[in-house]
Amino acid sequence: MLKRLAAVLMVMALLVTVPRAAFAKDVCFQSDKSPYCYRDKFATYWELNGGLPVFGYPITTARDEVNRDTGKTYLTQWAERNRFELHPENAGTSYEILLGLLGKERLAQLGRNWQSEPRESGPKSGCLWFEQTGHNVCNQSGNLGFKSYWESHGLKIDGLDTYAQSLQLFGLPLTEPKMETNAAGDTVLTQWFERARFEWHPNEVDEYKVLLGLLGSEVYAGNQTKSGKIAFSTDRTGGGDIYVIDEDGNNLTQVTSDASPEVDPTWSPDGKKIAFVRYGGGFSLIYVVDADGKNLKQLSPAKSQDFAPAWSPDGKQIAFGSYTGSSPDIMLMNADGSERVNLTNTSEIWDNNPAWSPDGKKLVFESSRDAAQDAPAATDLYIMNPDGTGIVRLTNDIQRDMEPAWSPDGKQIVFSSFDGGGVVSGDISGGDLYVMSTDGTGRKRLTADATGGRQPSWSPDGTKIVFISARNENATVELYMINADGSSVRRFTNDRYNYFNPSWVTK
């Protein structure tokens, strides 16, 4: 009973008692406009330098990204019309946040070399002339047009005149104005700049005759090679709901909405359904729902204590942990909830967190069955056949080796090794990620940080691992990614909420 109480308390601690940090400023929007927020320095920068007309809505969370030009990693957030990068080397200056050269980047994506664009013959009367690139910026109708817009907008940087401020925001012109069809299908007079694309819409009211192209959205989409989605539990809307997001950080979608905490999402092999656990009334039940939130179905019998579901590779069965007595066992049921079978059937032994091998021939799980008397809470990893036979021990230490996940190629198992500290003041203390061969050899530590990592899940191609950690200044539990060799840890989420139980779709 003590272990059951501890398990329930840990889940509730993860979802409820982890403190939310106090942030100086968030700029958020109606959910139909954007599910993301600008926060802290990005929020201040966005508001100070033009807001919605200049930058647009956020299209991602703020997270660590590698700059493709420099190879360095910066906290980055994409907006509809630009990209913000936080440069700590410029801290305390007006250049701590830098904008991307999205005009250049988008032209390159389109296969257009701006340097091969013909230079204009020289300055035109009433226009701005830029000798560096050989182009004019002119108005289109009286005092309205590209010139007036360029001159009247700029980054608010102390010590710079208005011309230099505009140059910092838009950059140099790269082309002369010409009729082009934009991403929305409108054919409009268009001029490209290093950081922007100006469009002339003569039928709009004067304030909106010049509009900026959605370069952030276009460049971001052009950079992505999507191969999966990540499901997770988060307290964004209260106690905990299931959300899904593209692995590139886009298209955040709420899947479930219930007053009770919902955790442990796991994808069906075809990526069409998600099994998860709902806590309430002292019980924990497994449900299944379509990935779009439709067709919710309860799989567990009423008054069950089921958790940690894991879908079999053929989609026909779900392995899970369940209290059948004072401690949990590993159980198996059909994907419709029928024919529940106890695979381990032990008493006073902790068996939990099953994970399938990619070929469906083995299950790896955590167990306290061989725990030493002086370390009764320790768990090791074991593998067994799907009928419960052939149990083999993989790890042997006094830690809590737990939360295993099999690599897509079937050659490795990633897991967390944990000293039992639990969630303390918002930190996940004592846990780190390790990887080993499926026979238990070649153990290698992936994370090395005081707040380490927990709840790992492999990318479909086996090159990356997503996990949770509180390794940030805000003491919130967030999603991080790391390469499978332990290199390049980077933050995937970055806001005031807590995130748990990431699950990467296998297809």
The DSSP annotation for 414-446 comes to EEEEE-S--EETTEETTEEEEEEETTS-S-EE-
**C-alpha 220, offset from chain centre:** 15
Instruction: Note the pLDDT of residue 430.
Output: 55
Which pLDDT belongs to residue 225?
A: 61
- Name the more confident of 422 and 222: 222
From the centroid of its chain, how far is CA 354?
24
What tokens does 297 get? Answer: 């179905």
> Coil, strand or helix: which one is 130?
strand
Higher pLDDT pick, 448 / 428: 448
| pLDDT value at residue 12 | 40
What is the structure's pLDDT at 165? Answer: 96
d(CA 245, CA 122): 50
Cα separations (Å) of 457 from 326, 371, 447, 467, 504? Answer: 29, 26, 14, 6, 6
The terminus-to-terminus CA distance of the chain in angstroms comes to: 39
Residue 20 has pLDDT above 80, yes or no: no
Average pLDDT over residues 50-79: 89
| CA nearest to 263, candidates 2, 5, 8 | 8
Largest CA distance in the chain: 90
What's residue 424's pLDDT? Answer: 35
Mean pLDDT of the chain: 87
3-state secondary structure of 207: helix
Please state the rounded mean pLDDT for residues 168-179. 96
Question: What are the backbone dihedrals phi and psi of residue 10, each rounded to the nearest 5 degrees, phi first?
Answer: -65, -45
Looking at the DSSP bridge assignments, the partners of residue 429 are none
Is the pLDDT reported for residue 273 higher than 70? yes
Quote the Cα angle for 37-32-56, to 5°. 50
418-424 mean pLDDT: 50
What CA–CA distance (Å, rounded) separates 105 from 102? 5
Neighbouring residues of 52: CB distance < 8 A, sequence distance ≥ 6: none
Q: Where are the alpha helices (DSSP H) in 242-396?
A: none
Encoding tokens for residue 339?
């024919």
Domains of the chain: 2-12+224-504 (2.120.10.30), 26-215 (no CATH)
pLDDT (0 to 100) of residue 449: 62
The predicted pLDDT at position 117 comes to 87
Identify the pLDDT of residue 16: 37
Contact 426, 390 (CB under 8 A): no
Q: In this structure, what token pair is assigned to residue 57?
A: 């809505």
- For residue 428, the model assigns a pLDDT of 46
